[in-house]
Amino acid sequence: MSPPEHFTVAYQINPWMRLDQPVDRELAIKQWDGLRTALLDLGHQVHVLPAVAGLPDMVFAANGAFSVDRVVYGARFKYPQRSAEADAHRAFYEERSADWKFVAPTQVNEGEGDFAYVPGRKLILAGHGFRTETAAHAEAQDVLGRPVISLRLVDERFYHLDTALAVLDDERITYYPGAFSAGSVRVLEQLFPDAVLADEEDALAFGLNLVSDGRNVLLNTEAGAYAGKLAAAGFRPVQVDLGELKRGGGSVKCCVAELRP
Ligand code: ARG
């Protein structure tokens, strides 16, 4: 995680970002710290990547890389405003090269924003349409040695895969069908007939932008109805208020780069 010490909306690269609505940075820092504390309380370890001045979106740490079984496929951001973030993430892994093998990308991809791993199936789910290029899906498959299922995102409000789909445990996923092309929905239905389905309201509340440890699911407070669906499916929702981060177009998942050691 990387603290929102320099968080602001200084440019607009997704429909949630509004240049005319100021960000309350103090509040953002407080909310971010609430998420960090919630993770620690659940027994997880959190590394903090220091914020860098001039990189207002760096709080969205999920975009910095994507790793599977200690191989790290680096990010290459679509927009120049964020491109330097990739170097900070790369340095994090290279400083720990005994544990992580870092591979630099040649194709545009935004890390865990557009890649998700389903451990029990040894499958990678990957989004394209707004940020990550399909060429990066092929590159990730080569680098990580796991099949990559390409899914096309069609609604600009859900511009990253992690705003529309999440992995809940080793086998189960959850997604909002309206964010995907009809063909991609058929692929998801075939592979995951037992998925927890979300509706538009759940997705707009950024409910799908969650982090799950297989039992506890951390998600935005706004997504109350969706938390009920997760509870009905046997998970334990833990709601965290990240309202201020939503002004940048992100929530819980965007703030966490999962290391899965
Ligand atoms: N403002 C950031 C962007 O548009 C938000 C990134 C959200 N991160 C995520 N993993 N979905 O790039």
Q: Going from the N-terminus, what domains does the chain have, and what CATH number goes with each?
A: 25-255 (3.75.10.10)
Helices assigned H by DSSP within the chain:
25-41, 85-94, 134-144, 182-191, 200-204, 224-232
Give dist(CA 105, CA 155) in Å, integer: 26
Q: Digits of tens for pLDDT over the chain (261 positions)? A: 999 999 999 999 999 999 999 899 999 999 999 999 999 999 999 999 999 999 999 999 999 999 999 999 999 999 999 999 999 999 999 999 999 999 999 999 999 999 999 999 999 999 999 999 999 999 999 999 999 999 999 999 999 999 999 999 999 999 999 999 999 999 999 999 999 999 999 999 999 999 999 999 999 999 999 999 999 999 999 999 999 999 999 999 999 999 987
Structure tokens at 15: 């429909």
Give dist(CA 61, CA 71) in Å, integer: 17
Give dist(CA 162, CA 251) in Å, integer: 10
Per-residue confidence (pLDDT) for residue 261, from 0 to 100 = 75
Per-residue confidence (pLDDT) for residue 171, from 0 to 100 = 97
Bridge partners, residue 149, by sequence: 125
Cα–Cα nearest to 221, from 234, 198, 237:
237
* Ligand 1 centroid, distance to 204 Cα (angstroms): 15
Q: Is the dihedral of CA 155, 259, 109, 118 positive or negative?
A: negative
pTM, 2 dp: 0.98
Per-residue confidence (pLDDT) for residue 260, from 0 to 100 = 84
Task: Decide if 47 is catalytic.
Answer: no
Give dist(CA 4, CA 27) in Å, integer: 10
| Atom 1, ligand 1: residue with shortest CA distance | 248
* Ligand 1 centroid, distance to 28 Cα (angstroms): 15
Which atom of ligand 1 is least distant from the CA of 159? 11
Which atom of ligand 1 is least distant from the CA of 248? 1
The Cα angle at residue 137 between residues 119 and 209, in degrees rounded to 5: 55
Task: Decide if 254 is catalytic.
Answer: yes
Per-residue confidence (pLDDT) for residue 69, from 0 to 100 = 96
Give dist(CA 203, CA 165) in Å, integer: 9
Residues 6+ apart with CB under 8 A from 241: 31, 34, 220, 221
Give dist(CA 16, CA 11) in Å, integer: 11
